[in-house]
């Protein structure tokens, strides 16, 4: 159980690049809104904490997680972005709907990332029940939105670094 070992809000702040010159899109699914809005807040707080400017953060809301890849594509078409975060929460129910949605969103986002050369971050919780979701949306296992925000900063900075032809330093 990965998140039993790692708090989702913990990351090494000292090695995270500044987000001051980076532009972000965030797509938020409204299914399980109590959870996803808490994830969004965690993500937004993280971007702002590391210097991102409010005017460089573009957020849209969509009905459910299944719509996240399309929303990410629309965001990329509407704004110049360095990274996109997709935020959702798909709770397992009596049927296999969660597997169809989760697989579609994961494949949609990774395929989109590669196709448009903009990192799309998987900020989607895939819990077995609501308590597991609450535990990961600001509860005992931290907030996956924070993890997604920190990941977006790293990937956006990497994209910018490579665009500018800079080399990585060994040891980070």
Asked if 84 touches ligand DLZ (CB under 6 A), the answer is no
Identify the residue among 17, 31, 48, 61 touching ligand DLZ (CB under 6 A).
31
Name the one range near ligand DLZ by CB under 6 A: 42-50, 84-92, 115-123, 144-152: 84-92
Active site residues: 97
Give the total of residues touching ligand DLZ (CB under 6 A): 14
Asked if 129 touches ligand DLZ (CB under 6 A), the answer is no
Asked if 32 touches ligand DLZ (CB under 6 A), the answer is yes
CA dihedral 11, 113, 96, 132 (to 10 degrees): 10
Cβ proximity to ligand DLZ: between 25 and 88 the closer is 88
Which of 55, 120, 51 has the alpha carbon at shortest distance from 82?
Answer: 120
Asked if 64 touches ligand DLZ (CB under 6 A), the answer is yes
SS3 166: coil
CB neighbour list of residue 106: distance below 8 Å, 6 or more residues apart: 122, 124
Cβ proximity to ligand DLZ: between 17 and 64 the closer is 64
With beta carbons less than 8 A apart as the criterion, state whether 169 and 67 touch: no
**Which H or E element spans position 74?**
helix 68-78
Q: What's the CA gap between 26 and 44, in Å, rounded?
A: 9
Asked if 97 touches ligand DLZ (CB under 6 A), the answer is yes
With beta carbons less than 8 A apart as the criterion, state whether 4 and 37 touch: no
Asked if 63 touches ligand DLZ (CB under 6 A), the answer is yes
Binding site for ligand DLZ (CB under 6 A): 29, 31-32, 63-67, 88-91, 97, 101
């Amino acid at each position: 159980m990965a998140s039993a070992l790692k708090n989702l809000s913990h990351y090494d702040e000292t090695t995270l690049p500044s987000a001051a010159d980076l532009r972000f899109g965030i797509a938020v699914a409204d299914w399980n809104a109590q959870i996803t809005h808490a994830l969004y807040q965690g993500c937004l707080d993280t971007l702002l904490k590391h210097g991102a400017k409010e005017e460089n953060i573009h957020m849209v809301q969509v009905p459910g997680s299944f719509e996240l890849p399309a929303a990410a594509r629309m965001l990329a078409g509407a704004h110049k972005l360095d990274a996109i975060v997709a935020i959702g929460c798909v709770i397992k129910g009596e049927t296999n709907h969660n597997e169809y949605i989760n697989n579609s969103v994961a494949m949609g986002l990774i395929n989109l990332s590669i196709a448009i050369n903009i990192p799309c971050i998987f900020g989607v919780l895939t819990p077995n029940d609501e308590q597991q979701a609450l535990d990961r949306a600001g509860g005992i296992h931290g907030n996956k939105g924070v993890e997604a925000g920190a990941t977006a900063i790293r990937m956006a900075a990497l994209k910018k670094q490579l665009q500018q032809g800079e080399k990585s330093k060994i040891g980070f």
